[in-house]
Structure formats: C-alpha cells, structure tokens
Amino acid sequence: MKLHTAYFPLPSFSRSLVAAAVFALCSSQAQAVEPFVVKDIRVEGIQRTEAGTVFGYLPVHVGDTFNDDKAVTAIKALYATGFFKDVRIESEGNVLVVQVEERPAIASIEFIGTKEFDKDQLNKAMKEIGVSESRIFDKSLVDRGEQELKRQYLTRGLYGAKVTTTVTPVERNRVAITFNVDEGEVSRIKLITIVGNKAFSDSALRSELKLTTPGWFTWYTKADQYSKQKLSVDVDALRSFYLDRGYLEMQVDSSQVSITPDKKDIYITININEGEKYTVSGVKLEGDTLGLEDQIKPLIQFKAGEIYSGSKLTETSKKISERLGNFGYAFANINTIPAVDREKREVAFTLLVDPGKRVYVRKVNISGNTGTRDEVVRREFRQFEDSWYDGAKIKLSRDRVDRLGYFKEVNIDTPEVPGVVDQVDVNMSVVEKPTGNIMLGAGFSQQDKVSLTGSITQANVFGSGNTIGVEVNTSSTNRTIAVSQTTPYFTDDGISRTYDAYLRTTQPSVYTTGYYKVRTTGADVRFGVPFSELDTIFFGLGIENTAVYTDSTSPNLYQQYVTSFGNSPSGIGSANTTSFPLTAAWQRDSRDSSMVPTEGRFQRANIEVSGVGNLRYYRATYQHQYFQPLFSKAVTLALNGELDYGRGFGGQPYPIFKNFYAGGIGSVRGYEPSSLGDKVDQYGNSMGGASRVLMNAEFQFPFPGSGQDRTLRWFTFVDGGNVFADQAQIKLNGLRYGAGIGISWLSPIGPIKLSYGKPLNATSTDKVQNFQFQLGTGF
C-alpha cells in the first residue's frame, strides 16, 4: 500500500521553504494510512549516501507505530538534510520502504579566463562559500559564488567583467561547474575632484591620496584603479592631514563615485568641510598615574600654544600606554577629553589615565620552529613566564629573535587568558628559512686553466644556533682553504666563541700586475661578551705567518716590503714574517633584523694590534649603519659610514697585505672592485691603502608584485669613498662618487645584490664598471 509521496525541485529553495512545502503537500496529497508497527525499514535509491546516514536522520525506528504524523515528520527530516531532491515513503506489509533520489555532487570546478586571480585562491574562496569538489550541488550557493567572483573583480577596477556559470551533468549523478570569465578592460580613474577646500590647494590634498589618475608608474602601483577600500583609506588620509594641521572639526561630508557608460573611466568627487583651525590651550593629566607622573609628562607630544595635531595626540596616548605596559599594565587605557572653545578657536585636553589591572605572563609559546631547537629561541627572550608583563621586554625579545637571522618572519602577540582578567600568554610564531649557504663554481681561463671554488656555511647547524663554515678556492690567482666555527652561547650567560683556521695564497697574473705571491697561514680565537641588551665587546688572539715572494717585475710596494722584512736589499726575493695580532672590538646592534633591517642602528669599532713577532702595526676600523622607515614603512632609508685607519709603529712600515680596498659593490659602486686609490704600479693598478673612507646611502623599495616582502627589494643609491696610501693624509675632496639603482634578494643560497652604477666624478685613470653582482653582501 502506497502511503506518502512527495517531490520537490530543491536547488532553488531554502531549507525552511522546503520544509513548509513538504508539510503542505503531505497534508493535502498524502493518502491516509492505518497505523502499524514497523518491523523493518529498507532504503532504496542511495548511491553515495550511507544507509546509516538516512537512518540517523529518519525519526522512525523499528518497533515504532507508523502513522500520518510520523510520515510528515519523516519526509520533512530527510528533505531538511539537503541530500535529496525526491523522497518517497511506502510500505510493504509491515516493512517501511524509503525511496530517495540523491541530489548531484560536484565533480569538478573550473575557471576559464581568470588572469587577475590565482586559481588556487579562487577555489579556496568557493570552498568557504560551500562550493567545492565532492560537495552536494546547491544552485543557490553556486549563484552566490558567481556574485562573489564579480564583486572581487569590482575591487580590482574591472567593472566590465562578465561571469557566466555553466553546470554540466556528468556520469554517476554528478555535475561539472565552469565559471567563464570575460575580464574586460580595467576601469581607470579619470578625475578626482575635492570640493570645499579653502586652506589647502587641490594639488596639495591630492598628493595625500593613494588613488590617482593614470601616470608613468601607475601600471605598477595600480593607483589609478578604483576600489572602495582604497577610497576609504584616502578619506581617512585627508581627515588625518587636516587634523594634523589644527582643523579639529574637519569633516568629509560625502564621496561620490561615477562611471561612464562604457565602464572605462571613473570620476571621484570628495566633499569636505574644513572647519576652523585650533590651537592647544592646555593639557592636564588626571586619573590613576601610579605615581609615575614624572615619567608620563615628558611623553606628552604637544604643549599649550601649539597648533593642534591629531597624530601627536594619538602618539601621546600610545607612548603613555606603552610606558604603563612596561610596568605590567598591558591593557592601560588613555581617554582624551577635549574642551573646545569655538570663540577663541582653542582646545584644552584632559588625559584620563586608567591603567587597569596589572597583568602577568602565564606562558611563552613558540611555534613554527620546525628545525630550530626551542632553547635557541627561548634564550633570546627577555620576557619570562610567571613575571609581570613588560611591553619593552616583549619587543626586545622579538627583535633579538629576528636578529638571529634564522627566520623569514617573526611575529608576536599577547592574547588574554580566557576566563582570567590579569593574565596573558606571549605567543611567538616564526617562519624558518634556509640557514645553510652552499656555493659551487668552476671556471676556465688562459692563466688559471681550470679552477674550482666552493664554500659551505651552516648558520644554525642541527638547529643548535652554532655556525660552521668551510671555504675552498682552487684558482691559481687566489687559493683559499678556511674553516670557522662559532658558538654563540659558549656559556649560559651568552659569551660567544669563534675559531678560525686558514691558508690563503694570492698570486695575480704577471700580465696584469707583475709577479708577486703572498701566502698567509693563520688561526685565531675570539670571544664575545655581552654587557647590555644591545652592546657586546669582543677580544681575541691570533697567530699569522705570511710569506711574500717577488722578482724584478713585482710592484714597487711589494719589493719595498721584501727589502724591509727580508734579506734582499734589492727587494727581489722573499720575506717571511710572524705576528700575534690582538683584537678588541665593541658592537652595538639595535636593528629590527640582521638580514633585512628596516629600522635601528648598527655600530662596530675594532682595533687589531700586533706588537709581538716580526710585524709592528695596528688597524682601527669604525662602521655605523642607520635604518629609518619612511612613508608608512613602505620605504627604508639605509645609511652606512665606515672609517678605517692603519699604521706601522716601532720604526716599521704598515704591511701592504693588510691594506684596505675600495671600489665595487659593497663600497663604491660604478667602479671596478678594489680599483680605487693611487695607481702605484707600472700597470696602472691600485694596491689599496692604509686608510679608507666609505659612505653609502640607499632608498629601498618593495619590489613590484612582492607586496610587503622584505627579502626582495629594489633600491637607489649614492656611494662615496676612497683609499689613501700609508702616511698619506685623508682628503675628503679626493673621494670618488657613484650613483645608480639595483635589486637585492635574500635568496635560498644567500643575499644577492645586483646594481647598475654610474661614476659621478671619475678621472681618466679610474676603472669604470657599471653592472655589478655580489653574493653575500648585507648592505
């Protein structure tokens, strides 16, 4: 006997509407049934759905008495699952038969013509909506996905984009979904009009906006493509511009956007009301200052008589909150209460300090360090568990971990502990990067024949934080075998230890410099002792044996060296010297990253003295680097200065193989490497100098398409510098200058720099080299 039958084409209805329709149809069309006890239930028509799933949703079980009410409830429950487009309930004796027709599943999703978006991102977005492979097909969700795709194109300025969705049935009750996209042309901003401005010109205000009309570089910045988000940011920028110049009551009344019928040109109109310009009449500090008024008052960025500035007010609140955060008050709140006198055009502020509860750190959690040991990261932390929250120590901890150079990203946040008002966790997440550098190379030349070069450096060997390096060079011009090992935490207090052992042989081609050969064998050990969070002193001792060989074609400086330290008055022969150089250095590093810094300073002063052995000399070097973010941290100003000075003492000359060199990437770009200085040999080559001056300035910009990735950047530069001979006076008017552009990339095999430089004041004897490349430079 047929009991109940219902059919509904579900895809275009919501579940609530379906349930109502089922109830109505079941009430009006169903045949009345005499109640009976269900002895068995059979499900027919399922292909992908498990029978247990049907039984789980079916509100009727074996042993229940089946009647009209149970029939209506059962059909409504099965339809509500969304799995079926047809449900029939029949009976065969005391057996309940549930016949279903499943809705199709999604077999595949394809995007055609989508050049503006990555297909993986589109698939991820559709999955969040509910449209993905193997899911039940729901036309309403597919329609929603199509509208979302259109909306995304609108945010990119592609107002003419058209999306056509095709649903194709395939075997086994499945469908293939295809989104065909015609992206059309990008709509560009034709004109931006600002209405209501009196104090500032249109050009001055438009310069504050990121949106602009098409120009030389808008193909890269895409600033001529409208989006609602960009306009909102620009409106805020206008408001901030006025607030920083005293216009306390400035308002943006409206912003209208219109597009031409062909959807190619966009016109933007921003209506503003400037209001009046205000000065600050006074600032008061109230509330609970915790007895820290003497520390808080200097943090106030403005005073009576100054033009009102919104950014100074915000910065004041931020600095006061940060200072209170250093004493454990992580959630301090600074309320600024203005008192406006419109007649005098003055405003007075009351800063109401509410420190909140004192907070301590429950746990320090570290994630993402899959290869680096936990202790390597934790030993850089200055914020400890179960101690009071200290904002300065948390920032310092983040910077110290970033300066390790083991991670591409270092992020930190301090969420509240659920259910507790005075505890937070410190969560640090890192993204590891390769810390091993392998360089292999081979070359052939008439002089060197076949030469092999290679080096291996592992800066975080086995995740321990230790560094091991091996360098090998088989060139006939420069042969090197060097081994180094650094333990940054030789002691638990952070004293570092470094060993070096090396054998270096230099023998340039006789066709370019004349014959000479320098062979140096040495080893040293150095220790670094931190005496503050930013400062470290180093001291070390080494032993070095150097042999110099010359003949009649050798440069004069090398012949003079053999005369001074050898047994040949003519300067032709050999000289063998042994020295025991002592080194002492001081270093201060406040950069936010050692590999790709954007702010902070790096300073290092070093002196090397050899007073024991054949040689008597000293070398002193000082380097100062400065990094400053500009334009909302999108651009970095990087400055570098270096002064080096060497002299012999005890009646001995300065050893020539300790000379400094300049020219090339890393010093003065646009000139051949190591080519600057007096041309002292018969071939017009520089032999370096006993003193050196270097100055570098760079503006570093994000690379097109890389977003905020700091590891890939392009830059403009101006360099200056030169070397000066032993006993010669340093003359700033003798510096050489170069300028140009370049690209820097923190690649998997190490930092890479490419630059194109033009000398600005080269002489006829200077050797020019415009395009230069270096692997391993940091500035």
3-state secondary structure 590-622: CCCCCCCCCCEEEEEEEEEEECCECCCEEEEEE
With bands split at pLDDT 50, 70 and 90, how would you rate the model's confidence at 367? Answer: very high
Q: Is it the case that residue 542 has pLDDT exceeding 90?
A: yes
With bands split at pLDDT 50, 70 and 90, how would you rate the model's confidence at 1? Answer: very low
Higher-confidence residue of 296 and 408: namely: 296
Contacts 24+ apart (CB under 8 A), 136-140: 136/82, 136/83, 136/103, 136/104, 136/105, 136/106, 137/11, 137/103, 137/104, 137/105, 137/106, 137/167, 137/175, 137/177, 138/11, 138/82, 138/103, 139/11, 139/12, 139/167, 140/11, 140/12, 140/14
The string of pLDDT tens digits covering residues 554-583 is 888 888 889 988 888 888 999 999 999 999
697 burial level (CB within 10 Å; 0-12, 13-18, 19+): middle
Q: Are 606 and 632 in contact (CB under 8 A)?
A: no
What is the Cβ-side half-sphere exposure of residue 44, based on CA atoms within 13 angstroms? 10
Q: Are 693 and 732 in contact (CB under 8 A)?
A: yes
Say what the pLDDT of residue 14 is: 37
The string of pLDDT tens digits covering residues 501-520 is 999 998 877 666 788 899 99
Say what the pLDDT of residue 453 is: 53
Q: Is it the case that residue 22 has pLDDT exceeding 60?
A: no
Q: Of 564, 542, 485, 550, whose CA–CA distance to 519 is shortest?
A: 550
Kindly state which CATH superfamily the domain 2-102 is placed in: membrane protein fhac (3.10.20.310)
What are the respective helix, strand and coil percentages of the chain, to the nearest 5? 20, 45, 40
DSSP strands (E only) in 360-513: 360-367, 407-413, 423-432, 436-445, 449-458, 467-474, 478-487, 496-506
Q: Are 759 and 769 in contact (CB under 8 A)?
A: no
Cα of first residue to Cα of last residue in the chain, in angstroms, is 88
Cβ-based neighbour number of residue 69 at 10 Å: 10
**CA gap 501, 520 in Å, rounded:** 11
Percent of the chain's residues with pLDDT above 70: 90
Q: What angle do CA 440, 441, 447 make, to 5 degrees?
A: 150
**CA gap 79, 10 in Å, rounded:** 9
Q: Are 497 and 527 in contact (CB under 8 A)?
A: yes
Buried b (16+ CB within 10 A) or exposed e, 316-342: bbebbbebbbbbbbbbbebeeeeeeee
**CA gap 60, 70 in Å, rounded:** 7
Average pLDDT, the chain: 85
Say what the pLDDT of residue 246 is: 94
Radius of gyration of the chain, Cα coordinates, nearest whole angstrom? 37
Say what the pLDDT of residue 535 is: 93
**CA gap 502, 517 in Å, rounded:** 17
φ/ψ of 18, rounded to 5, equals: -60, -45
Query: Which of 86-95, 478-487, 688-697, 706-715 is predicted least confidently?
Result: 706-715
**CA gap 576, 596 in Å, rounded:** 43
* 491 Cβ neighbours under 8 A, 6+ residues apart: none
Q: Is it the case that residue 488 has pLDDT exceeding 50?
A: yes
- Domain 188-273 bears CATH identifier 1.10.569.10: no
Say what the pLDDT of residue 217 is: 72
Say what the pLDDT of residue 470 is: 85
Say what the pLDDT of residue 634 is: 80
In single-letter form, the type of residue at position 56 comes to G
Q: Are 754 and 741 in contact (CB under 8 A)?
A: no
The string of pLDDT tens digits covering residues 579-615 is 999 999 999 999 888 778 889 999 999 999 998 888 9
Strand 2-7 to 84-92 pairing: antiparallel
Q: Are 101 and 85 in contact (CB under 8 A)?
A: yes
Say what the pLDDT of residue 772 is: 86
Q: Are 106 and 175 in contact (CB under 8 A)?
A: yes
- Can you tell me which residue has the tokens 């009727």? 60
Q: Is it the case that residue 442 has pLDDT exceeding 90?
A: no
Average confidence (pLDDT) over 344-352? 94
- Residue 272 tokens, joined: 């503003």
**For the whole model, what pTM was predicted?**
0.62
Q: Are 251 and 275 in contact (CB under 8 A)?
A: yes
**CA gap 241, 200 in Å, rounded:** 10
Percent of the chain's residues with pLDDT above 90: 46
- 298-to-319, 320, 351, 565 alpha-carbon distances in Å: 10, 10, 13, 62
With bands split at pLDDT 50, 70 and 90, how would you rate the model's confidence at 19? Answer: very low
| Domain 360-432: assigned CATH number | 3.10.20.310
- Domain 598-779 bears CATH identifier 2.40.160.50: yes
**CA gap 566, 575 in Å, rounded:** 4
Query: Which of 149-163, 302-316, 639-653 is predicted least confidently?
Result: 149-163
Higher-confidence residue of 539 and 437: namely: 539
**CA gap 409, 432 in Å, rounded:** 7
- 586-to-393, 528, 531, 532, 539 alpha-carbon distances in Å: 23, 9, 10, 12, 9
How many Å separate Cα 505 from the centre of its chain? 41
- 734-to-336, 642, 670, 717, 724 alpha-carbon distances in Å: 56, 16, 16, 20, 9
Average confidence (pLDDT) over 113-117? 84
Average confidence (pLDDT) over 322-334? 92
Q: 656 in helix, strand or coil?
A: helix
Q: Which residues pair with 503 in a beta bridge?
A: 481, 521
Query: Which of 115-129, 318-332, 373-387 is predicted least confidently?
Result: 115-129
Say what the pLDDT of residue 681 is: 67
Average confidence (pLDDT) over 643-668? 91
Q: Are 457 and 436 in contact (CB under 8 A)?
A: yes
* 614 Cβ neighbours under 8 A, 6+ residues apart: 565, 576, 577, 578, 579
Q: Which residues pair with 273 in a beta bridge?
A: 251
DSSP symbols for 127-142: HHHT--TTSBP-HHHH
With bands split at pLDDT 50, 70 and 90, how would you rate the model's confidence at 443? Answer: very low
- Domain 279-354 bears CATH identifier 3.10.20.310: yes
Say what the pLDDT of residue 393 is: 93
Say what the pLDDT of residue 779 is: 57
**CA gap 482, 445 in Å, rounded:** 24
φ/ψ of 216, rounded to 5, equals: -65, -40
Q: Are 468 and 482 in contact (CB under 8 A)?
A: no
Q: Of 625, 624, 617, 626, whose CA–CA distance to 660 is shortest?
A: 617
Q: Is it the case that residue 475 has pLDDT exceeding 70?
A: no
Q: Is it the case that residue 454 has pLDDT exceeding 80?
A: no
**CA gap 470, 501 in Å, rounded:** 10
Class of domain 105-182: alpha beta
With bands split at pLDDT 50, 70 and 90, how would you rate the model's confidence at 448? Answer: very low
**CA gap 429, 247 in Å, rounded:** 42
* 288 Cβ neighbours under 8 A, 6+ residues apart: 353, 354, 355
* 112 Cβ neighbours under 8 A, 6+ residues apart: 178, 179, 180, 181
Q: Of 82, 84, 81, 41, whose CA–CA distance to 57 is shortest?
A: 81
